[in-house]
Structure 1
Amino acid sequence: MNKTLLLSLSMIFFSSSAISSPLDGEMVPGYDLPYLWDNYAGYTNQDWMRAIDGNKRLSEISIPGTHNSLSMHGGDIPATQTLDVADQLEMGIRYLDVRFKYRNNDLWAYHGPISQHQTFDSLLSKVSNFLARNPSETVLIRIQNEGGASDHEHQFFNRFNQVLEQYKHYNAIPKSNNPLLDDVRGKFVFIRDFNVFGSHIGIERSSLNIQDEYHLTTNWDLYKKWELVKQHFYSIDKNRLSLNYLSGSVGSFPYFVASGKSSPQSHAPQLWTGISTTNAKKYPDFPRRSCLGDLCSIYFSGTNQLTNKWIEEAKLPQHLGIVVMDFPGGRLVDNIIQSNGKSKVKSLIIYEHNDQQGKSLAVFNDMPYVGNEFNDIMSSWEMPSNWEVRFYEHENYQGDYYTRSSMKGNADMFNDKISSIRILKK
């Protein structure tokens, strides 16, 4: 039997348990989607942070967020959301990315030149009302001067402070760029991205680990964008806040980057790439359809769909950082929230890096060869409590071996040395 077949027979991927948990939200039938182009979310999870240990730092929590959170108007080019901020918060979103310009003596939401018909005051009113009803939560707000860093910068900052004074009881200004959850519960926290003239208003954006490559020249750059998203998930450090933007635009519509669809509707068909090939290495994560033997047509898949699929198949680390999305559906939001639960390990999982970080592989049966992608790179593992596993230095269970039965650990003396695995007990 060849190695590829052995590998496929030895792997099992898993998704969230059906058992109820404090992290669970409520899903309306028909809205179990990773991408949503509706003005009704079909999913609510108002207080999921009550299930999170308050001694955790924000960097240790997987948080769903939205990109250009107020941009609902102007057509397919500027629109990035269909849900109002109040609905986003009810859905479980806890990171908002907002952009304002100082115009007519106020701060008005814009996406580029397109007004979004909302003020900074209306935003803080919605956020504060939500926090008053849900004091277990916190909301991170990245705020930017959409007119440019120097556009009316003094008036921008002065109006910011005038409005903030009305909502100061709901505002936390942490001493650290990575506060404990308990220190900011019931509060909103700004992530600064405009000139505050030496003042301290919240978390400094420069302290964050950010992937925000938004420029796609054509639709065919979508796969490159997905690879950047994927790589960033593997690079996350639990001691530093991470922002991973799934969004993109310029040469593609925002809805297309999120969905890969032929039109923006939630259930629109996926767009064909125009490629039919027998080459399995061409866009390997995109779906194959209409196959004739090994000859298959490749269709686009959006960053929302791909991220959701990889979470459900346990191909990403359990900790996801802040995931920033256009048009998020309830299924993806729920999967991000659920990743904060206790690991529901159903098999051995081996990881590329120490402390169960980096790319991972779920193993259910003996593996005489771990595959080219994992040969000599395993650094840590986790397994169910009743399992016992033996790791071998060479293929076909040869060379030095190390037996482990603890639920998780680092490889230490056999770091980057493992080529085959036996399951001794399960």
Structure 2
Amino acid sequence: MAVPVKIMCILMLLLHKSSQQEVFNDGKTPNLPANYSVGWMKTLEDEKLISTITIPGTHESLALYGGPPAECQAWSLENQLMAGIRYFDLRVSGKNLKIKHGWIDQKTTFPDALETIRKFLSKYKTETVLVRVKPVDPELSKVPSLVENKIRNAKDIWVKKSVPRIGEVRGKIVFVQKESFKLGILLSETDKKGDYKVTNVKDKEEKIKKHLEEAANLCRTGSALSLSYSSGTSLGTYMLIRFLPNALAKQINPWLYDHLEKEFKKKPKPCFGIIAMDFPGIDLIQKVIKFHRLT
């Protein structure tokens, strides 16, 4: 039986609309709409714990150099901030606190990144930005004390272990950490060791789904700040260069958008804590941001 022309046109329109969603972007500049709301946190209630909202973040946030095996993002730190990203994953090395991805120098430092974030927050005072530092070789053992010396007494950086309410940290940086640091909020990562290695996209999707379910359970109580990754690579596996960060994100990001779209329709809406992504597009970032509206 032939499909009526009217129904076919509607289906084509829906498919066209779906294809227009910008869920992946590896251009150098984000395509911000004219009415884009940079300061999206202004609508959050001051009493809300930061562990009970869904926050768009990036994995290897400043891995902009080194070619397809090493690059996880395309936008500068400033552009990511303007696009709505509020969690940053900085891999820091050596006494000069250089930001690296593996052995590849990313042409900036931790102090430079702090300065950029501070400049942003001086303009958008309703926002808060979460920063994690992960020490990497060489001289990774020196990084924690050097970083702590720079942030310990800063009035605009939250370094307490307790989870703050939004009203306490507007216009401030919130330092989040794992076992390397004595300062900051403890992160609860849903990913297990080796989950970043990808040999099958469907398997990766199932892992992300499971991790987001774990994050939703943590987020419901607000007792811990959860972190889940949608990123990954096939480097170090038998698939070699089949799924480098860019190529994987092209497949994962549309799936993640659709998955979040389904979750968004639930009542009440869940929260997922931090979702760290590679090469997110504006519409994917906005889909994550919308989850802070829990009514």
Among 171, 179, 184, the alignment partner of 1:202 is 184
Among 264, 285, 290, the alignment partner of 1:333 is 285
Q: Distance in 2 between matches of 1:152 and 1:139?
A: 24
| Residues 34 and 152 of structure 1: CA distance in aligned 2, closer, same or farther (over 3 Å) | closer
The equivalent residue for 1:58 is 50
- Relative contact order: is structure 1 or structure 2 higher (C-alpha 8 Å, sep ≥ 6)? 2
Q: Distance in 2 between matches of 1:164 and 1:182?
A: 20
Q: CA deviation at 1:137?
A: 1.0
SS in structure 2 opposite 1:229? helix
Q: Distance in 1 between matches of 2:213 and 2:124?
A: 32
Q: Structure 1 counterpart of 2:286, which letter?
A: D
Does residue 33 of the first structure (1) align with residue 51 of the second (2)?
A: no
SS in structure 1 opposite 2:27? coil
Q: CA deviation at 1:45?
A: 3.6
1:64-103 paired onto structure 2 within 5 Å: 64-102=56-94
The equivalent residue for 2:98 is 108
The equivalent residue for 2:112 is 122
The equivalent residue for 1:142 is 132
Q: Tell me, yes or no, if the aligned pair for 1:120 and 1:163 is still in contact at 8 Å.
A: no
Does residue 42 of the first structure (1) align with residue 31 of the second (2)?
A: yes
Q: Distance in 2 between matches of 1:106 and 1:90?
A: 27
Q: Distance in 1 between matches of 2:40 and 2:100?
A: 30
Q: CA deviation at 1:341?
A: 1.8
Counting helix residues as a fraction of each chain, which structure ranks higher?
Answer: 2
Q: Tell me, yes or no, if the aligned pair for 2:135 and 2:144 is still in contact at 8 Å.
A: no
Q: Distance in 2 between matches of 1:223 and 1:324?
A: 19
Counting strand residues as a fraction of each chain, which structure ranks higher?
Answer: 1
The equivalent residue for 1:183 is 168
Q: Which deviations, in whole Å up to 9, do the C-alpha atoms of 1:109-151 show, x marking residues without a partner? A: 1101111010111100001111111111111111111117xx3
The equivalent residue for 2:232 is 248
The equivalent residue for 1:211 is 191
If you compute each CA radius of gyration, which structure gives the higher value, 1 or 2? Answer: 1
1:220-369 paired onto structure 2 within 5 Å: 221-235=200-214, 236-237=216-217, 238=220, 239=222, 240-249=224-233, 250=235, 251=240, 252-259=243-250, 302-314=251-263, 318-343=270-295
| Residues 319 and 152 of structure 1: CA distance in aligned 2, closer, same or farther (over 3 Å) | closer
| Residues 55 and 99 of structure 1: CA distance in aligned 2, closer, same or farther (over 3 Å) | same
| Residues 226 and 121 of structure 1: CA distance in aligned 2, closer, same or farther (over 3 Å) | same
Q: Tell me, yes or no, if the aligned pair for 2:49 and 2:165 is still in contact at 8 Å.
A: yes
SS in structure 2 opposite 1:126? helix
Structure 2, unpaired ranges of 5+: 1-18
Q: Distance in 2 between matches of 1:113 and 1:58?
A: 33
Q: Structure 2 counterpart of 1:35, which letter?
A: F
Q: Structure 1 counterpart of 2:289, which letter?
A: I
The equivalent residue for 2:157 is 171
Q: CA deviation at 1:32?
A: 4.0
Q: Which deviations, in whole Å up to 9, do the C-alpha atoms of 1:307-327 show, x marking residues without a partner? A: 101222347754232111000
SS in structure 2 opposite 1:310? helix
Give the 4+ runs in structure 1 shifted more than 6 A: none
Q: Structure 2 counterpart of 1:110, which letter?
A: K
The count of residues paired between Structure 1 and Structure 2 equals 257
Q: Distance in 1 between matches of 2:161 and 2:98?
A: 29
Q: CA deviation at 1:34?
A: 0.7
Q: Which deviations, in whole Å up to 9, do the C-alpha atoms of 1:277-330 show, x marking residues without a partner? A: xxxxxxxxxxxxxxxxxxxxxxxxx22111101222347754232111000100
Q: CA deviation at 1:179?
A: 2.2
Q: TM-score, normalised by structure 2?
A: 0.80
| Residues 193 and 115 of structure 1: CA distance in aligned 2, closer, same or farther (over 3 Å) | farther
Q: CA deviation at 1:158?
A: 4.0
Q: Distance in 1 between matches of 2:165 and 2:171?
A: 13
SS in structure 1 opposite 2:256? helix
Q: Structure 2 counterpart of 1:182, which letter?
A: G
Q: Distance in 2 between matches of 1:127 and 1:193?
A: 21
| Residues 342 and 190 of structure 1: CA distance in aligned 2, closer, same or farther (over 3 Å) | closer
Q: TM-score, normalised by structure 1?
A: 0.57
Q: Tell me, yes or no, if the aligned pair for 1:170 and 1:188 is still in contact at 8 Å.
A: yes
Q: Distance in 1 between matches of 2:160 and 2:37?
A: 25
Q: Which deviations, in whole Å up to 9, do the C-alpha atoms of 1:350-395 show, x marking residues without a partner? A: xxxxxxxxxxxxxxxxxxxxxxxxxxxxxxxxxxxxxxxxxxxxxx
SS in structure 2 opposite 1:73? coil
Q: Which deviations, in whole Å up to 9, do the C-alpha atoms of 1:223-261 show, x marking residues without a partner? A: 1111011112222222232211000012420012211xx
Q: Structure 1 counterpart of 2:291, which letter?
A: S
Q: CA deviation at 1:157?
A: 3.2
Q: Distance in 2 between matches of 1:211 and 1:180?
A: 25
SS in structure 2 opposite 1:255? helix
Q: CA deviation at 1:209?
A: 4.2
Identity in percent: 29
